[in-house]
């Protein structure tokens, strides 16, 4: 039991959070290559982050409503001052932020997609 608790605490310590503004992007960039080389698909739950490795899975939670979505980082950005993540249209719909455009979120790393070279 103690070993299990220690393992849980070690994993939790590697899951830092970041809080800031999120925005979204959609059809206007459909098919354009993302920084990872994949074509951008607004219908997928993906996101752009300035520093997280491609393939990192993050849980994005609106701080005002508690709504959350898991996305895979496959692009770089956002480039607008004060923003920490850009979500695909599908991800933005999942947390009901389409009308607001920009909302405050908490980002927590929760995993990694193995199809990417590396995301540790």
What is the per-residue pLDDT across 52-83, written as a single tens digit (0 to 9) for each? 999 999 999 999 999 999 999 999 999 999 99
Question: Facing residues of 56 across strands?
Answer: 112
Question: Cα–chain-centroid distance for residue 93?
Answer: 14
Worst-scoring range by mean pLDDT, 12-16, 37-41, 48-52, 55-59? 12-16
> What is the enclosing helix (H) or strand (E) of 9?
helix 2-13
Residue 120: which pLDDT band, with cuts at 50, 70 and 90?
low
- Which pTM does this prediction carry? 0.83
Distance CA 47, CA 75 (A): 6
Least confident of 3-7, 51-55, 68-72, 106-110: 3-7
Structure confidence at residue 10 as a pLDDT band (50, 70, 90): very low
Helix (H, G, I), strand (E, B) or coil at 6: helix
Average pLDDT, the chain: 87
Domains, the chain, ordered by start = 16-112 (2.40.40.10)
Torsion angle of C-alpha atoms 57, 54, 14, 3, degrees rounded to 10:
70
Residue 37 zone, left/alpha/beta (φ > 0; ψ -120 to 50; rest): left
DSSP state of 65: T
């Amino acid at each position: 039991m103690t070993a299990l608790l220690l393992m849980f605490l070690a994993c939790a310590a590697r899951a830092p959070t970041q809080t800031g503004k999120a925005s979204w992007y959609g059809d206007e960039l459909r098919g354009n290559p993302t920084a990872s080389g994949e074509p951008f698909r607004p219908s997928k739950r993906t996101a752009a982050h300035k520093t997280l490795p491609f393939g990192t899975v993050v849980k994005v939670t609106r701080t005002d409503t508690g709504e959350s979505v898991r996305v895979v980082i496959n692009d770089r950005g956002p480039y607008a001052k004060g923003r920490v993540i850009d979500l695909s249209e599908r991800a933005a719909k999942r947390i009901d932020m389409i009308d607001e455009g920009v909302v405050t979120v908490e980002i927590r790393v929760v995993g990694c997609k193995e199809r990417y070279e590396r995301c540790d």
